[in-house]
Amino acid sequence: MNKKDWYCYMVRCRDDSFYVGMSNDLAERIKEHNWGVKSEFTTKRRPVVLVWSEQQPDRNTARKREKEIKGWRREKKLKLIHEYECRGPQSACEANPSPSARGKGE
């Protein structure tokens, strides 16, 4: 991961809420969330787990993507996470065919 790269990301919090953010050091930012640094929202909901990330060409594009996703309803975020998981092993998709199959809703 290059420090010049920017990422938009989503973490799942202990209370099953989502936090969407952006960073040019994703691994360090996730650590900061779990240490309770720089985010009041996640500090109260630790620990957090990275559930989605997407590389962006620059900071401005990452910020736009962050704002876009923050405006989404929970179901749309779950769909994005599911599609991200499906890029991995095929068994992940077969085990969880859709976000609603996991019992998550609005």
pTM value? 0.81
Q: What pLDDT is stored for residue 89 in this prediction?
A: 58
List pLDDT tens digits, range 35-71.
999 999 999 999 999 999 999 999 999 999 999 999 9
Residue 60: CATH number of its domain: 3.40.1440
Q: How confident is the model at residue 2 (pLDDT cuts 50, 70, 90)?
A: low
Residue 1 within any structural domain of the chain? no
Identify the CA nearest to 14 among candidates 38, 36, 44, 37.
44
C-alpha triplet 7, 65, 77: angle, nearest 5°: 95
Q: How far apart are CA 56 and CA 7, in angstroms?
A: 5
Domain count, the chain: 1
Question: Which domain does 43 fall in, by range?
Answer: 6-102
Q: How far apart are CA 94 and CA 61, in angstroms?
A: 33
Residue 20 within any structural domain of the chain? yes
The residue behind tokens 């620990």 is 47
Residue 71 within any structural domain of the chain? yes
Residue 54 within any structural domain of the chain? yes
The residue behind tokens 């996470």 is 81
List pLDDT tens digits, range 24-37.
999 999 999 999 99
